[in-house]
Structure 1
């Protein structure tokens, strides 16, 4: 007999029955509660979009300079607006007189659309070559009492604007497209609209197919899927009420990640529990006894896994970015609800259903602890045991090579708004036309708040900054749109005609408030381009240097710059915190110090290898323009928190086996017994995250690819080869300083 052989010859005819006390009653009660709440919560899955926030305020903290400027600048306007444009273009030749008449008609009709800030509209611009016209259409972002208008309402207004403009010019053959923040907001909301349908449907289909292959049963897949759906409903209900009362911030990307995280993690927990349940059905004739035993044996690993992920995600609350602060609790709620359902409803449901759910491979009482140990994973474990040192050295070398292959290609300098989409929505096409035909900085100026006494010096300093537009009227005190509206009324309600270049007269600009005023600065480059962000950096340095001005720079470009800076801060702060938290959880679980260090080191090495592969794939295969600054942090949190799960599943079983069989034998037995179920769990989780690519957003596609590839790498290389081979080579010392480190190898 080898060290992997199970002692089935001397197995007891009847194992001792587990006690059925109040814990069993508590689990049944919680299962009923989870079923009722999860079922009721399904209705909230479709309502989450109502409480989403996808504007800059949902990302930036109150301490950010651009946020401070936005709050101060809001005092000078009666209505806060979202800038947007309607672009009219003729494919061949210049615009005709009939085209211009239709555009004028469209201008009048668009101004009457509810939700458009008519007073802030400006005259139609015509391109130098005469082929394109652009109408500035600001959307009211606050209502009459100052309450913020939600994204859904803004998107509906923008869509009405586009429908109105298209209808007014329908007989001309003009191409009519949106541009600016308003149009891009619609594109973003449309992209996230796929969360409830395409994303969830694709994820469910993928998981069902994988479970059919894993279980080889036409019935068993239904139980984990139903449980995952209930968990998603329960978490959606909790997230909805917390977001509605502004306890947490829910963004579109958080909702997308919540869906795949619940489905993936829930299926993982179900696979582990069902695998152990199948084992115990070979020992216990009574299915309830088998489930109680399986629940008690798998609960420590599943609980430790859930706790690790929850604590890792909650580390995001240390973030400066509100979006990250919101994602942490949102995802932690999802894991908590998943854990509750999978550890209460699923085991009760399975036990009540009976053995037939495993049909056609119904487990019988034959005292074979796990048939999989006599198959492929048993043979893999034997190979790992015979060649442990070459195995872990080879696996480490592979990970280092993967890191080196592409890490130099990974750019995390950020993406422009148009680069954020994997497709080309109308707003992106419109923005490209606008940038090519007009001053790209128009419509999203940098905003400076300054003391009035130093106004002239600040404006002079801003005008000399490289990257600020040199056209007349590029650095001006902000227009008072209430005064402009009054002028419009005097002219019979008509919008003002094209004004002479330059700043408006002081009679049309905002009056100082508490000795402060607002200056708008038009940039020479598109507001979200790297060049514009560099200009903002220079602009801030220039106005800071004006003595006594107390000047600050905000605006859309500045907000993007602040988001990027906060992302780098969050990455440098949160990654060490996550590692420390995971180390503590592993040390408590395994009652050792060396093993947790080894596990964390291997997962970090796997993460580094994943970044290298991502750099190569993003640049040379997918041809993405780059990655967001927050990409490394998101990839790290999900890969390390979720990747460590599989090491937890493995090492808790290894420790259990080591107590009775010695460490080296325990390592191989643990690998053999858990190999199939953990690999299946890794494939499920990788597949669910890969489904994020269904949404046409580069950031989610990149996170989905990184987590999918990283989980597979961790499952196949790290957990199957590196960790067991290294642990086998080290022997009992891996449990240092616990008593197990002094027992036999």
Structure 2
């Protein structure tokens, strides 16, 4: 009786494991709940939260917060009539501005500045009343808008409009992402129940990632913005669903070989676990490389995105298996994988055909594919210039409308002040230097305190033009290290220059880190180099397609300065994922004695379905960003979605497979597989396709 009793005890213990995992997750979610809901409270979308850490404009923003009254909220009231303002218009404007001054504490009495053609009247309004409180700033802007009939623009109004857009992203972004993933999973699984399991698990992972991100913010003061939390949600659902597809695919395969779901899941995790861990590790390391960036927004996105990937990994390798084991085979209904059954051969015909074409003519496939990617990359020459503030929305909020009116009415005059912060003992010299600088219309002393003095400079040129940029550079050169030059236009200049610096630092770091992980995983130098070169080519082609569609088709007037770096990090990290899935299976086949050419084709047939499904899901989740009202997010989502599709259906399917066939055993050089002789019959170990 001893042996049977031990068998019963063993089975009982196995049945208890999934339930124990589910109970543990209930406890984790209960602990995370109080913190996940607080993430929105620490999300900051002020310019200083996106600016480069060491830039002049960042120092200006920080110092002005310490001046008497704190950070100022600067607005511009724009009164305009196409046929020319009447006397009644001007007197009405004066009454409204006086009402604003009576209701709020202003830094100075606003003075009217008429345009030369008489169609527009501009009032500059500045107040330290809101300070650094974003809610107080928004309340102040809304109060002014309710008081006046003018268009309310300026940096303060723009920050309020941008904040409202970012705050409105959470709901639509989440709902749209969930809907897209749900539809694709229903089509992939062709089951009325199975699709819901990975979707629920992804939702749990997203909830957990919010709590962990809040904890990181409290413990390490990482920057949390609307952009970073939005991308985190996309990554959780996109990457998490990819891991789910691979695990469920392998689990379905094992259910045909193993009678009990628990044992089948254990075998599935042993089989695909290394690939899932390596792919998630690659993405995590790639995201953490952004910590080397000087841009606050990029540096804050690094750990936030890494948290999303790791939470997705933990949920998909613990909660998902537990749920699937508890639900048993019936969750696959109506296509239940019965023990001992065989999959339909027809389901692998598409990828068998693709692999065969790459195997028959590998040189032609490689040359044609490389030429196509190179041609697409030429589109980068057509990318529009740097994105201006007024072009950063897909719609036109009031602050942007006001700026457009000002640009038309005051074409030869700066309508947005440049802020100079000088040490108080040197303030008089800084004021004289500013007034004497080329392109400066006027310069006036502002607030003073804490050893610093604020000087407000008005340029002759319109905001964010080449002439104004030259004036800002001249001011910085003339004032030297004893003063800082900031303001909205200086911020945009610093964003462009720092983005270029970050690319030079982060790109080599990402490439080196990813290459090292691939070398350790694949025990080869050649195979990792193939994958890295492939994803870099995909990035160039995807960015080139962006250059062909941004302005001509979508009407985007500029390119976000951070787009090349962020798209590179995401496409390299995520693209290598699929390479890991393919190469890891190819290595398995070679270790079983399969000749490398046959191993490459078998790997494509057995992983092609899951890679295609995962690529579609990931591309669709990032494509959700295209419908968001911020040009930066739309551009990022479009480039990554295009890149993932190119990587999935061109690079992995044809180019990587073709290169592997062409190089034969050399693809594993200098590892032991490069020296192992082929089996006498050149046998090919056929495995049941891991199709979905």
Give the TM-score taking structure 1 as reference length. 0.84
> Higher mean Cα deviation, 442-451 or 692-701?
442-451
* Paired position in structure 2 for 1:436: 408
Shift of 1:662: 2.5
1:570 Cα shift? 0.7
- Determine which of 426, 434, 451 is the counterpart of 1:462: 434
The answer to whether the Cα contact below 8 Å between 2:52 and 2:494 also exists between their aligned partners in 1 is no
Cα 1:206–1:353, aligned 2, differ >3 Å: closer, same or farther?
A: same
Do the aligned partners of 2:47 and 2:159 also contact (CA within 8 Å) in 1?
no
Give the 3-state SS of the residue equivalent to 2:187 in structure 1: helix
Matched, 1:475 2:443: yes
Question: Which range moves more in the overlay, 388-397 or 566-575?
Answer: 388-397
Tell whether the 8 Å contact from 1:465 to 1:535 is kept in structure 2 after alignment.
yes
Q: Distance in 1 between matches of 2:163 and 2:63?
A: 28
The correspondence of residues 34-73 of structure 1 with structure 2, limited to 5 A, is: 34-38=25-29, 41=32, 47-72=38-63
Residue in 2 aligned with 1:693?
A: 626
CA RMSD of aligned residues (A): 2.7
How far 1:292 sits from its partner (Å)?
A: 1.2
Q: SS in structure 1 opposite 2:440?
A: coil
Does 2:363 align with 1:389?
Answer: yes
State the shift of 1:44 in Å.
Answer: 6.1
Q: Which of these residues, 85, 106, 117, is aligned with residue 118 of structure 1? A: 106
Separation in structure 2 between the aligned mates of residue 279 and residue 449 of structure 1, nearest angstrom: 69
User: Which residue among 602, 605, 609 is the counterpart of 1:669?
Assistant: 602
Q: Which one of 95, 99, 103 corresponds to residue 93 of structure 2?
A: 103
Equivalent residue, structure 2, for 1:711? 644
Aligned to 2:159: 185
C-alpha separation in 2, matches of 1:246 and 1:181: 29
In structure 1, the residue corresponding to 2:148 is in which secondary structure?
helix
Structure 2: distance between partners of 1:182 and 1:229: 35
1:159 to 105, 130, 142: 142
Aligned residues: 667
Alpha carbons of 1:254 and 1:736: their partners in 2 closer, same or farther (altered >3 Å)? same
Deviation, 1:94, is 2.0
CA contact (8 A) 2:202 2:237 kept: yes
User: CA distance change for structure 1 residues 447 and 304 in 2, over 3 Å: closer, same or farther?
Assistant: same
Alignment partner, residue 477 of structure 2? 541
In the alignment, which of 324, 327, 333 is matched to residue 353 of structure 1? 327
- Per-residue Cα deviation, 1:44-92 (whole angstroms, up to 9, x for no partner): 6665332122223213355322333444555553332021123233354
CA offset digits 1:263-283 (Å, max 9, x no partner): 111111111111111111111
What CA deviation, in whole Å up to 9, does each residue of 1:573-628 have, x standing for no partner?
A: 00000000001111111111111111111111111111221111223222322212
Picking from 501, 506, 510, the partner of 1:569 is 501
Kept in 1: contact 2:279–2:580 (CA 8 A): yes
Q: Is residue 449 of structure 1 aligned with residue 422 of structure 2?
A: yes
How many angstroms does 1:714 deviate by?
Answer: 0.4
Q: Deviations 1:418-451 (Å, cap 9, x if unpaired)?
A: 0111111121111111233347534522314156
Q: Once the two structures are superposed, what CA deviation does each residue of 1:83-140 show, in whole Å capped at 9, x if it has no partner? A: 112323335442342x444434422433355xx5423342344444444333333343
Contact 1:32 / 1:345 at 8 angstroms: preserved in 2? no
More deviation, 356-365/312-321: 356-365
In 2 relative to 1, CA 27–526 (structure 1 residues): closer, same or farther, beyond 3 Å? farther
- Partner in structure 2 of residue 317 of structure 1: 291
Match of 2:398 in 1: 426
C-alpha distance in 1 between matches for 2:499 and 2:435: 30
Structure 2 residue matching 1:521: 3-state secondary structure: strand
The Cα shift of 1:392 comes to: 2.0
User: Within the alignment, does 1:524 sit opposite 2:465 as a pair?
Assistant: no
Alignment-derived partner of residue 136 in structure 1: 124
Please say if residues 451 and 551 of structure 1, whose CA atoms lie closer than 8 Å, have aligned partners that are also in contact. Answer: no
The verdict on how the C-alpha distance between 1:85 and 1:575 changes in structure 2, with shifts beyond 3 A counting, is same
Once residues 452 and 23 of structure 1 are traced to their aligned partners in structure 2, the CA distance between those partners, rounded to angstroms, is 76
Does 2:256 correspond to 1:301? no
Contact (CA 8 Å) 1:35, 1:345: kept in 2 or not? no
Partner SS state of residue 54, structure 1: coil
Determine the C-alpha separation between the residues in 1 that align with 2:676 and 2:74: 70
- Provide the C-alpha distance between the structure 2 equivalents of 1:734 and 1:720, rounded to a whole number of angstroms: 16
Contact 1:83 1:444 in 2 (8 A): no
In the other structure, the counterpart of 2:316 is 342
Once the two structures are overlaid, the 10-residue window that deviates more, 657-666 or 360-369, is 360-369
CA separation of 1:388 and 1:522: change in aligned 2, threshold 3 A: same
| SS of equivalent to 2:461 | coil
Moved more, 656-665 or 639-648: 656-665
What is the rounded CA distance, in whole Å, between the counterparts of 1:608 and 1:732 in structure 2?
A: 29
Contact 2:586/2:600 (<8 A) preserved:
yes
Alignment of 1:201-600 (within 5 A): 201-244=175-218, 247-366=221-340, 368=342, 371=345, 374-404=348-378, 406-411=379-384, 413-438=385-410, 441-449=414-422, 452=425, 455-456=428-429, 458-469=430-441, 474-478=442-446, 480=447, 510=448, 517-544=453-480, 550-600=482-532
- Shift in Å, 1:366: 2.8
For 2:399 and 2:460, the matched residues in 1 are separated by: 21
- Normalised by the length of structure 2, the TM-score is 0.90
The SS at the match of 2:334 is coil
CA distance in 1, matches of 2:437, 2:12: 76
Q: Which moved more, 1:69-78 or 1:581-590?
A: 69-78
The residue aligned with 2:7 is none
Superposed CA offset, 1:148-188 (max 9, x none) = 31x3432232122212325xxxxxxxxx3220012111221
Deviates more, 1:84-93 or 1:584-593: 84-93
Distance 1:141 1:271 in 2: 53
Partner Cα separation in structure 2 for residue 249 and residue 609 of structure 1: 31
Q: Distance in 2 between matches of 1:198 and 1:72?
A: 36
Work out the CA distance in 2 between the residues paired with 1:268 and 1:649: 11
Unmatched 5+ stretches in structure 1:
1-18, 167-175, 481-509
Q: Secondary structure at the match of 1:368?
A: coil
Q: Tell me the equivalent position of 2:681.
A: none
Counterparts of 2:73 and 2:564, CA distance in 1: 30
1:621 to 544, 553, 574: 553
Cα shift at 1:323: 1.4
Cα distance change of structure 1 residues 46 and 205 upon mapping to structure 2, 3 Å threshold = farther
Alpha-carbon distance in 1 for matches of 2:272, 2:106: 63
Q: Partner residue of 1:726? A: 659
1:187-211 CA distance string (max 9 Å, x none): 2112212322211111111111111
Alpha carbons of 1:585 and 1:540: their partners in 2 closer, same or farther (altered >3 Å)? same
133-142 vs 343-352, which moves further: 133-142
| Structure 2 partner of 1:632 | 564
Partners of 2:506 and 2:280 in 1: CA distance: 19
Are the counterparts in 1 of residues 53 and 296 from structure 2 also a CA contact under 8 Å? no
1:212-236 CA distances to partner (integer Å, 9 max, x unpaired)?
A: 1111112111011101110100001
Shift of 1:249: 0.3
SS in 2 for 1:636: helix
Q: Which shows bigger deviation, 245-254 or 230-239?
A: 245-254
Report the equivalent of 1:736.
669
Unaligned runs of 5+ in 2: 1-9, 679-692
CA offset at residue 23 of structure 1? 11
Taking the aligned partners of 1:550 and 1:119, their CA distance within structure 2 comes to 25
Counterparts of 2:275 and 2:344, CA distance in 1: 18
The residue that corresponds to 1:94 in the other structure is 85
